[in-house]
Amino acid sequence: MKVGILYSRIRRDEKLLLSELRDRGHDVEKIDVRKHQFSLDGTTAPVDDLDLVVDRCLSTSRSLYATRFLDSYGVPVVNDPETADVCADKAKNSLALQKAGVPTPKTDVAFTKESALESIEKFGYPCVLKPVVGSWGRLMAKIDTRDAAEAILEHKATLGHYEHKVFYVQEFVDKPGRDIRVVATDGEPVAAMVRSSDHWLTNAAKGAETREFALDDRARELVETASDAVGGGLLGVDLMEVGVPADAEAEPGEPVDGADYTVHEVNHTVEFKALTDSTPTDVPARVVDWLEAKAEAFDEAEVTA
Amino acid sequence: MTETECVECGGEVSLHDDLEVGEIVDCGTCGAELEVIDVNPPVLDRAPELEEDWGE
């Protein structure tokens, strides 16, 4: 197949993907979105004869617009721009999960410092304030006191651009020192890992320790439903364990008996290098298997149409 | 393994053979993040600063 990779930075994830694609003999067109224009009726990007374009943009804004334009030209692109739109925004993400019946942390969105403070007081301390667009655990605030809440809200309202005035307030989930990242293709788990840290943030990008996690049936069910809720695709579904007794001792890499899960977000340009390092699964190979199937499905749909 | 010059400090930067345009390499001398602009021959430039919307 002839596959385009939208990018603005080649991370180790993209190198793994490029290597797998080339090893299988696929023709790869790297498309640096910084170098192109996207007009209403076409683009300078070389996409005309591609079987599939994979969005690997590091920048969320570029990802959203580039995929939207390519889709408008009829270029097969994964992930779908609608999926990107939902996943890129935590508020939309939460709404989609809630609508699909996926357990997700209680969340308020408020538009002023005063109304945000009311939400914070309602949730009680600690609770969490997140940017609606953001990643890698950046600008996340665990709020322990009213004094801290007032200070953070004032800083965001004064120093932030307009998105920071959309206050996304969430209950604090007292997870057992770890959360779970599942990379899935159209709801089918490719591999899963736990990310453990003494810090309340357990992002791999924040230095959390990672190891393979054995998904149970409930986690698999939630991954599938969460994926469907945002439109499917190559996704990173993040879960936290809830209902875990304080004295429960989880086996590393195993679910806790009797625990359930809450899904806090689904990521649409998922990084998988940490998963590749933590599990025996050949993640890039599984991703390329899926890309090949997607290209074939797009091709069949075009022939049928 | 090839080497080229850091555009920040002039020190030598070692480059892997599987270098990709768009990849970021670190200068071992000054710590600067450098973007690979070309691979044959290798050309480096200062990498863009981290933007708020970068990530997953």
For A43-73, write each residue's pLDDT tens digit.
999 999 999 999 999 999 999 999 999 999 9
pLDDT > 90 fraction of chain A, expressed in percent and rounded:
83
What pLDDT, on the 0 to 100 scale, is given for residue A235? 98
Place of tokens 């109304």: A115
Tens of pLDDT along A1-11? 999 999 999 99
Task: Give me the numbers of helices (H) and strands (E) for chain A, helices first please.
Answer: 9, 15
Does A191 share its domain with A273?
Answer: yes
Q: How confident is the model at residue A249 (pLDDT cuts 50, 70, 90)?
A: confident
Q: Does A187 score more than 90 pLDDT?
A: yes
Residue among B47, B53, B56 whose CB faces A267 most closely: B56
What is the H or E stretch that residue A130 is in?
Answer: strand A127-130
Question: Where residue A134 sits, what CATH number does that domain have?
Answer: 3.30.1490.20
Q: Which of A16, A18, A29, A58 to probe by mutation at the B interface, max B CB count within 10 Å?
A: A58
What pLDDT, on the 0 to 100 scale, is given for residue A244? 84
Place of tokens 């991703």: A287
What pLDDT, on the 0 to 100 scale, is given for residue A268? 96
For residue A59, the one-letter residue type is S
Q: What is the DSSP string of A195-215?
A: EE-SSS---GGGT-EEEE---
Does A196 share its domain with A129?
Answer: no
Does A253 share its domain with A201?
Answer: yes
Q: Give the three-class secondary structure for A95.
A: helix
CB contact under 8 A, B23 and A19: no
- Judge whether A22 is closer than 8 Å to chain B, CB to CB: no
Task: Identify whether the C-beta of residue A1 lies closer than 8 Å to the C-beta of residue A50.
Answer: no
Question: Where residue A38 sits, what CATH number does that domain have?
Answer: 3.40.50.20
Quick one: average pLDDT of A239-256? Answer: 84
The answer to whether residue A274 sits within a structural domain is yes
Tens of pLDDT along A70-128? 999 999 999 999 999 999 999 999 999 999 999 999 999 999 999 999 999 999 999 99
- The phi, psi pair for B7, rounded to 5°, reads -75, -10
Residue among A15, A32, A135 whose CB faces B55 most closely: A135
Task: Identify whether the C-beta of residue A241 lies closer than 8 Å to the C-beta of residue A180.
Answer: yes
Does A192 share its domain with A259?
Answer: yes
Q: How confident is the model at residue A148 (pLDDT cuts 50, 70, 90)?
A: very high
What pLDDT, on the 0 to 100 scale, is given for residue B25? 96
The answer to whether residue A200 sits within a structural domain is yes
Q: How confident is the model at residue A160 (pLDDT cuts 50, 70, 90)?
A: confident
| CATH fold for domain B2-46 | Rubrerythrin, domain 2 (2.20.28)
| Domain extent for A65 | 2-78
What pLDDT, on the 0 to 100 scale, is given for residue A72? 98
Quick one: average pLDDT of A191-215? Answer: 90
The answer to whether residue A43 sits within a structural domain is yes
Does A124 share its domain with A198?
Answer: no
Does A64 share its domain with A110?
Answer: no
Quick one: average pLDDT of A283-304? Answer: 93
> Residue B37 and residue A30: Cα distance in Å, rounded?
13
Angle at Cα B53 formed by Cα A198 and Cα A166, nearest 5°?
Answer: 85
Q: Is the dihedral of CA A147, A149, A154, A160 positive or negative?
A: positive
Quick one: average pLDDT of A20-28? Answer: 98
Total domain count, chain A: 3
CA nearest B34 in A: which residue? A9
- Judge whether A10 is closer than 8 Å to chain B, CB to CB: yes
Question: Where residue A195 sits, what CATH number does that domain have?
Answer: 3.30.470.20
Q: Give the three-class secondary structure for A14.
A: helix
Number of A/B CB contacts below 8 angstroms equals: 58
B56 CB neighbours in chain A (<8 A) are 135-136, 236, 267-271
What pLDDT, on the 0 to 100 scale, is given for residue B56? 85
Does A128 share its domain with A41?
Answer: no
Q: Does A246 score more than 70 pLDDT?
A: no
What is the H or E stretch that residue A72 is in?
Answer: helix A60-72
The answer to whether residue A56 sits within a structural domain is yes
The answer to whether residue A203 sits within a structural domain is yes
CB contact under 8 A, B53 and A14: no
Number of neighbouring beta carbons within 10 Å of residue A143? 22
Q: What integer best gives the mean pLDDT of chain A?
A: 95
Does A160 share its domain with A192?
Answer: no
- The phi, psi pair for B15, rounded to 5°, reads -125, 140
Let me know if A223 is exposed, middle or buried by CB neighbors in 10 A (0-12, 13-18, 19+). buried
> Residue A61 and residue A210: Cα distance in Å, rounded?
29
CA nearest B48 in A: which residue? A9
Q: Where are the domains of chain B?
A: 2-46
CB contact under 8 A, B18 and A32: no
Q: List A184's β-bridge partners, or say none.
A: A189, A235
Quick one: average pLDDT of B14-41? Answer: 95
Considering only residues A255 and A119, tell me which one the structure prediction assigns the higher pLDDT.
Answer: A119
Does A15 share its domain with A49?
Answer: yes
What pLDDT, on the 0 to 100 scale, is given for residue B52? 86
Reading the block at residue A251, the tokens are: 């086996």
Q: What integer best gives the mean pLDDT of chain B?
A: 93
Quick one: average pLDDT of A207-229? Answer: 95
DSSP-assigned letter for residue B1: -
Least confident of A125-129, A172-176, A219-223, A284-288: A172-176
A236 CB neighbours in chain B (<8 A) are 56
Residue among B23, B35, B54 whose CB faces A15 most closely: B23
